[in-house]
A and B are shown apart, each in its own frame.
Chain A
């Protein structure tokens, strides 16, 4: 890692040069919601003017640059009654600007899950290698809880990470590509004062969290509370719409379906990001549904997010961005669900306080 300091003005010139010559995406204001708050999404940007440097948070994560919502896994060319399978997983380079520390942590988690197992995914690898990631730090929103998940800072997984230290950005340069590009611009070595400002900024970020979730021992609690009434309570609210998984930066579960082309000269196998909250997630041929109830499916999402699966060394994959909580129309959010679970467990163990489902 190489550290540099760049003035905000010069940095804008750098970003402009970068986005003008590459397919780039960055946070853009797309709407104003009914509370007069701006709504941001990662959208295509073609000049520095398009980039909302002061954005709060995007509604949807940057996951789809690496795991598209829909992606062709392979094609079958059918000719003279025979077929040939064709696979293309290579992808074109893109620049993604403005990821938060938690978003980059999410990518590191996805790397773990999708590249380290017995069956690494070439599709993901191609996109990950061809994406130039520029991170920005930010002051937490009132409902961010990434500090609880220990993802409010990120040591790796980006090309360039910018910390806002007033007039300048303090750059962490993590790739030779980024280093070479920056040579063309006026940067300087960090001085004692810059380091102090960086420490100040980090303190400010770290102390800015208003939402805390106690995740200690959560995997064990999830195991113990597998049949907890808490799931039924929150399941009753769940609309089964899958929004939480779509906006989540780490939800990677998917569905695969095949279809013939209309001309019948080919067939395509496509992957679609799916959500464990959808009704038919665990339906097998013949129609049996292993998870017929809302609560069962919701539980699985929390199980996956906060307990982790064996393939991921049982690591929690939630980074604490709370996008699911913000997007959920039914008002289901990790903070309340986990607090409920914890209370449920404590009430059971002490047999004193009442269980939350009886409220």
Chain B
């Protein structure tokens, strides 16, 4: 790959998973029309969804999932040591994700219920940046392949990577959707970072904020909106907590 004045090299790439469904990694193998081109940008050193080869000489590591066992901590620290760039990949890695719902229960209670009579180690769920330094985050449950492609291209070409700073409403309006608030639902679209092309709201499903807060959001105004529309505060709290993505914002508000 060469453009006059530039040389681009393939990324020495690895992808790892922790506590998660591996759905985000599967997204990497999605979008078949550009898949060969996409894989052409990567020198895959370690990625169990795609290749059986295992090498430890990667530069860029995508890490999916949250951290819920002590052996995961050790493994993650080893990855951090090797990788020049560590990317938190997917909502679980960026915010803790659905897994963090477990943190609401007493320690050990969920494990005892799911695996009765078995010894299962299970720590409170943490996001990747709670354990090691994260260079870049790609949120989404699952991640948007198109965005991932753009980011990988940016990594190859050395351009700066930036997620949209504005909320989902921008993309939702561009798809001429009816606002879910007008249909009497709470939707986190106005405070959630865009980049998903409003997939959920286009399918008439309220946004649950998997991509985390947009930049500089106006939380008091959003709470006021929910109250003013006579919508249930409990429902709002459920939605905000769903992916654990608004933890920081909610803590500031109360």
List chain A positions with a Cβ less than 8 A from chain B: 30-31, 33-34, 39, 41-43, 59-60, 64, 69-70, 78, 81-83, 236-243, 246-247, 259-264, 273, 275, 278-280, 294, 327, 329-331
Between-chain CB contacts (< 8 Å), 11 pairs: A33-B184, A60-B176, A239-B225, A241-B190, A242-B170, A247-B173, A260-B157, A273-B174, A280-B215, A329-B181, A330-B224
B179 to A263, Cβ gap below 8 A? no
Q: A60-B173, A240-B167, A241-B169 are in contact. Are A39 and B38 (CB under 8 A)?
A: no
Interface residue? B4 (CB, 8 A): yes
Q: Which residues of A contact B217 (CB under 8 A)?
A: 239-240
What is the minimal beta-carbon distance from B207 to any residue of chain A, in angstroms?
12
B3 to A279, Cβ gap below 8 A? no
Q: Which residues of B contact A242 (CB under 8 A)?
A: 166-167, 169-170, 173
Q: A60-B176, A329-B179, A330-B221 are in contact. Are A243 and B37 (CB under 8 A)?
A: no
Chain B residue nearest to A283 (CB atoms) is B165
The distance in angstroms between the C-alpha atoms of A294 and B34, with both chains bound, is 40
What is the minimal beta-carbon distance from B47 to any residue of chain A, in angstroms?
18
Pick the residue among B40, B165, B176, B182 that contacts A280 (CB under 8 A).
Answer: B165
Pick the residue among A34, A41, A237, A259 that contacts B224 (CB under 8 A).
Answer: A237
Interface residue? B93 (CB, 8 A): no
Q: Which residues of A contact B182 (CB under 8 A)?
A: 31, 33-34, 39
Chain B residue nearest to A265 (CB atoms) is B37
B176 to A262, Cβ gap below 8 A? no
What is the minimal beta-carbon distance from B189 to any residue of chain A, in angstroms?
8
Pick the residue among A83, A247, A279 that contacts B215 (CB under 8 A).
Answer: A279
Interface residue? B79 (CB, 8 A): no
Interface positions of B from 120 to 164, Cβ below 8 Å from A: 149-150, 153, 156-157
Number of contacting residues on B, CB 8 A? Answer: 43
Task: Supply 17 further A-B pairs (C-beta < 8 A) apart from A64-B174, A260-B157.
Answer: A30-B176, A70-B174, A81-B2, A81-B4, A236-B218, A239-B190, A239-B222, A240-B218, A241-B189, A242-B173, A243-B170, A246-B169, A246-B174, A259-B150, A262-B149, A264-B153, A329-B225
Q: Which residues of B contact A31 (CB under 8 A)?
A: 178, 182-183
Q: A34-B182, A240-B218 are in contact. Are A43 and B176 (CB under 8 A)?
A: yes
B218 to A294, Cβ gap below 8 A? yes
Interface readout for B82-116 with A: 1 if CB under 8 Å, 0 if not? 00000000000000000000000000000000000
B178 to A39, Cβ gap below 8 A? yes
B3 to A81, Cβ gap below 8 A? yes
The distance in angstroms between the C-alpha atoms of A328 and B8, with both chains bound, is 45
Chain A residue nearest to B216 (CB atoms) is A279
A239 to B167, Cβ gap below 8 A? yes
The distance in angstroms between the C-alpha atoms of A341 and B85, with both chains bound, is 51
Pick the residue among B41, B165, B179, B220 that contacts A264 (CB under 8 A).
Answer: B41
What is the minimal beta-carbon distance from A356 to any residue of chain B, in angstroms?
18
